[in-house]
Amino acid sequence: MVDCVVVGAGPAGAAAAWALAKAGRRVVVIEGAPWPRSRACGGGIAPVVAQWFDLDLTPARVGTVQQLQLTWKLGDPVDLTLDPRASLWAIDRSKFDDCLIQAAIALGASFQPETRATAATWDGTHWTVTTASGTHTAPYLIVADGPQGDGAAWLNLDPPPARSGLIIEASDPNPSATPTARFDFGTVKNGALWSIPLPDRAQHIICAARFRGSRDRPEQLEAAARSMADHLGLKVLGSPRPLAVRLWDGDRPLHAHQAVLAGDAAGVADPFSGEGVRPALWTGLRAAEAIDAALGGDGAAIARYSQTVADGLGRDMAWAKRLSTLFNSVPKLAYKIGTRRPSVKGYIGKMICGELQYTYVADRAIKRLTSMLGGNLFKA
What integer pLDDT is reported at residue 214 of this predicted model? 59
Interatomic CA distance for residues 120 and 316, integer angstroms: 32
pLDDT per residue as tens digits for the range 211-221: 876 555 788 89
pLDDT per residue as tens digits for the range 103-140: 999 999 999 999 999 999 999 999 999 998 999 999 99
- 199 and 233 inside one domain: yes
What integer pLDDT is reported at residue 298 of this predicted model? 97
Pairing of strands 110-112, 27-30: parallel
137 lies in a domain? yes
Q: Is a pLDDT exceeding 60 seen at residue 379?
A: no
Q: What is the mean pLDDT of residues 281-308?
A: 97
- 235 and 108 inside one domain: no
Lowest mean per-residue pLDDT among 136-145, 234-243, 351-360: 351-360
Q: Is a pLDDT exceeding 80 seen at residue 32?
A: yes
Tell me which of 273, 289, 316 is where a domain ends. 316
Percent of the chain with pLDDT over 90: 61
What integer pLDDT is reported at residue 227 of this predicted model? 97
- What 3-state class would DSSP assign to 203? strand
Which residues form the domain of 50?
A: 4-61+91-161+248-316
What integer pLDDT is reported at residue 380 of this predicted model? 32
**How much helix, strand and coil, in percent to the nearest 5, is found in the chain?**
40, 25, 35
What integer pLDDT is reported at residue 378 of this predicted model? 44
Q: What is the mean pLDDT of residues 143-157?
A: 95
- 143 and 9 inside one domain: yes
pLDDT per residue as tens digits for the range 315-358: 999 988 888 887 787 888 878 777 776 666 667 667 766 667 77
- 230 and 362 inside one domain: no
Interatomic CA distance for residues 10 and 212, integer angstroms: 25
**How far is the CA of 307 from the CAs of 19, 41, 300, 312, 356, in angstroms?**
20, 28, 11, 8, 22
User: In CATH, what number is assigned to the domain containing residue 226?
Assistant: 3.30.70
Higher pLDDT: 379 or 143? It is: 143
What integer pLDDT is reported at residue 38 of this predicted model? 81
pLDDT per residue as tens digits for the range 82-93: 877 778 889 999
